[in-house]
Amino acid sequence: MRILHTSDWHIGRQFHNVSLLDDQRVVLEQIIDIIQSREVDVLLIAGDIYDRSVPPASAVALLDDVLHRICHELSVSVIMIAGNHDSAGRLSFGSRQLTGAGLHIVGPLTTSWNPVVLSDQWGEVAFYGIPYVDPVIVNGVYGARCGSHDDAIAYLTESIREDDAGRRDGAGRTVVLSHCFIDGGDECDSERPLSMGGADKVSSKHFEAFSYTALGHLHGRQFKGKPYIRYSGSPMQYSFSEERHKKVVTLVELSEDGSVEIDDIALDSPHRMRTIEGELEVLIKQAESDEHSDDYLLVRLTDTRAILDPMGKLRKVYPNVLHLERPALAASGRQYGVDRELLKTSVGGQRRGALSMFEDFYQQVSDGTLTDKQRAVIEEMLDECVNGEES
Ligand SMILES: [Mn+2]
């Protein structure tokens, strides 16, 4: 059986107030093409279908369109679970009816497992979806006493093993979908923590008994413990920290004996997220030879002098600059915040002249002192401010 493992679509995501929906449409189109060209039997989405629990209507329409193409036009089954960004209750609307159309949605956790059973030439494969849950939910539903996320996943995977063994004498092939944080996994900036203080980590051992585990939550592709306990990662970059991520969908060929062969297939988003660094003039010059000047950019300007409207200047040549940093203005590790000690001496003691305060400020943000020429310019400007323009 050929399984396409994806996760963390985050449809409807905004990044620095820019909608990524058009890019998401292009990437999902690529996934549809892969399903067709690689003759995929079932598509898995391991949680975080939407970016928000109440997604915008445009995001719902895009998902609706994509699912129609896959389930109806290509007659390929889809199995999806709710992630921590999704509202499990809302996501599962109509799920009992949709099962008949090949769309299997696992919303809120329930006491009885209801695996999706698909068949190939060697027999049945059972797919168990575990929606994102925290220990409180597991305890509430099952009357269990789980104190941690690890307890919760241990409890649920054990329960799946019992259910699976009961159905098929334990001889079959079993695939699990789960949205959780496997201990030791690599994080990036676009994942929302499942709980504070690192209490969200679970051991990969709980999944070792299954043929394959399709994980969601971490946005970088990786496996933990065994190659068949795996994160496909998100289909596109969702933060600048993912600059070096290769974005893929994971094609899993499940054999008769339950072993898997894995092939990561690259996806290509219209705009990459990346960081460029240098002086304004140099970066503007570089744009001429930059074929991807419309990428989503974080720009780090190293200029130490003041620049009027740097964002406006950059956007003329890099239309999608999303964020600007001036590391040189936060020299010697200081941040932009005000040095409160300096403020006290100027407010509490003798009232100091504006020039002296400006010199302190300049030293704080640039780690240098004013040259005579600079001081003359500032003096002139302050004069103008105080006494009005005289010429
Ligand atoms: Mn996610």
Cross-strand partners of 124: 119
How far apart are the CA of 241 and the centre of ligand 1, in A? Answer: 14
Q: How confident is the model at residue 349 (pLDDT cuts 50, 70, 90)?
A: very low
Cα(326) to ligand 1 centroid in Å equals 30
> Is residue 386 pLDDT above 80, yes or no?
no
Cα(176) to centroid(ligand 1), Å: 18
Confidence tier at 174 by pLDDT (50, 70, 90) = very high
Please provide the DSSP assignment of 123-175 as one string: EEEEEEEE----HHHHHHHH-----SHHHHHHHHHHHHHHHHHHHHTT-SEEE
Å from CA of 8 to ligand 1 middle:
5
Class of domain 2-266: alpha beta
Give distance in angstroms: CA of 100 to centre of ligand 1. 28
C-beta of residue 175 within 8 angstroms of C-beta of residue 125: yes
Ligand 1 centroid–CA 48 distance in Å is: 5
Q: What is the pLDDT of residue 197?
A: 67
Tell me, in angstroms, the distance from the centre of ligand 1 to residue 287's CA.
32
Copy the structure tokens of residue 3: 């399984």
- Residues of the chain with pLDDT > 70, as a percent, come to 91
Distance CA 205, CA 202 (A): 9
Euclidean distance between CA atoms 169 and 314, whole angstroms: 65
Residue pair 252/5 in contact by the 8 Å Cβ criterion: yes
User: By the 8 A CB rule, do 98 and 105 touch?
Assistant: yes
C-alpha 9 to ligand 1 mean position (Å): 7
How many Å lie between the centroid of ligand 1 and the Cα of residue 214? 14
Q: What is the CA radius of gyration of the chain?
A: 27
172 close to 123: Cβ distance less than 8 angstroms:
yes
> CA geometry: angle at 31 spanning 104 and 218, to 5°?
75
Q: In which band, very low, low, confident or very high, does the pLDDT at 158 lie, cut at 50, 70 and 90?
A: very high
Read off the amino acid at residue 63.
L
Question: Is the model's pLDDT at 49 over the cut of 90?
Answer: yes
Position 344 pLDDT exceeds 60: no
pLDDT of residue 367: 72
Query: How many A from CA of 191 to the centre of ligand 1?
Result: 5
- CA 244 to ligand 1 centroid distance, Å: 17
261 CA from centroid of ligand 1 (Å): 25
| Gap from CA of 179 to ligand 1 centroid (Å) | 9
Compute, in angstroms, the gap from residue 310 CA to the centroid of ligand 1.
33
Instruction: For residues 219 and 271, give the distance between their C-alpha atoms in angstroms, rounded to a whole number.
Output: 17
Distance 286 CA to ligand 1 centre (A): 34
List, as one string, the DSSP characters of 61-94: HHHHHHHIIIIIIS--EEEEE--TTS-HHHHTTT
Residue 347 has a pLDDT of: 46
**What separation in Å is there between the alpha carbon of 218 and the centre of ligand 1?**
6
How close is the Cα of 192 to the center of ligand 1, in Å?
Answer: 7
At 260-298, the pLDDT tens digits run: 999 999 999 999 999 999 999 999 999 999 999 999 999
Ligand 1 centre to CA of 85 (Å) is: 7
Distance 318 CA to ligand 1 centre (A): 28
- Whole-model pTM: value is 0.84
d(CA 148, CA 134): 8
Cα(151) to centroid(ligand 1), Å: 22
Average pLDDT over residues 113-131: 95
Q: 55 CA distance to ligand 1 centroid (A)? A: 14
Instruction: Fill in the amino acid letter for 129.
Output: G
Q: What is the pLDDT of residues 50-63, one digit of tens each?
A: 999 999 999 999 99
- CA 11 – ligand 1 centroid, Å: 10
pLDDT, tens digit, 9 for 90 and up, residues 312-325: 999 999 999 999 99
Tokens 């010697």 locate to: 332
